[in-house]
A and B are shown apart, each in its own frame.
Chain A
Amino acid sequence: MEYPRRCIRGIRAKDHITNEGVLHSSAIEFLPPKHQRDDGMLEASINWEDDDTVIGFTLDRRKEDDQGEGEDRQERRDEFQFKVGVALIPTECLDSVRRNPTTRRLLSYERARLPNNPYHGNILLLQTVEKKTRVQIAGTIASFAEIILRPAAK
Chain B
Amino acid sequence: MTDAFQCGGQDTYCPDEYHEIDPEDEFFLHPKSLSHHAEDQEKPASDDLTDWPVLNIHSPLRNAVGTIAKIADANLRKQAHDLLVKLQLVLNALEEARFDVGGLPSLGVAMVEDGSVLLEWASVNYRLGFSLEPNSEDSSWFLITSREFGGLNASGFLTNIRWTLVFPWLLWFIVCGC
Contacts and interface: CB of A to CB of B under 8 A. Distances in A.
Contacts of B63: 19
B113 A132 contact: no
Contact residues on B (Cβ < 8 Å of other chain), bracket: 20 to 34
A24 B106 contact: no
A32 B156 CA distance: 24
B142 A24 contact: no
Contacts of B109: 15
Interface in A22-50: 22-26, 29, 31
Contacts of B105: 18-20
B118 A142 contact: no
A93 to B, nearest CB: 11
Contact of A132 (B124, B142, B146): B142
B3 interface: no
A24 B110 contact: yes
B48 interface: no
Contacts of B142: 132, 135-136, 139
A31 B129 CA distance: 20
Contacts of A117: none
The B interface, classified by DSSP as helix, strand, loop or mixed, is strand
B108 interface: yes
A80 to B, nearest CB: 19
B136 interface: no
Nearest to A19: B106
Interface centre among A16, A136, A142 (most CB of B within 10 A): A136
B75 interface: no
A100 interface: yes
A135 B110 contact: no
B153 interface: yes
Contacts of B127: 25, 139, 142-143
B45 to A, nearest CB: 30
Interface residues of A, number: 25
A127 interface: no
Interface in A106-149: 130-133, 135-136, 139-140, 142-143
B155 A22 contact: no
B144 A139 contact: yes
A132 B155 contact: yes
A131 B144 contact: no
Interface in B127-150: 127, 129, 131, 133, 138, 140, 142, 144, 146
Contact of A24 (B108, B124, B133, B144): B108
B112 interface: yes
Contacts of A24: 108, 110, 118, 120, 122
14 contacts: A18-B106, A22-B122, A25-B118, A25-B122, A29-B114, A100-B153, A132-B142, A132-B155, A135-B140, A136-B142, A139-B127, A139-B142, A140-B144, A143-B146
Interface of A: 13, 15-16, 18-20, 22-26, 29, 31, 100, 102, 130-133, 135-136, 139-140, 142-143
The 5 closest A-B pairs by CB, nearest first: A132-B140, A26-B110, A136-B142, A136-B155, A22-B122
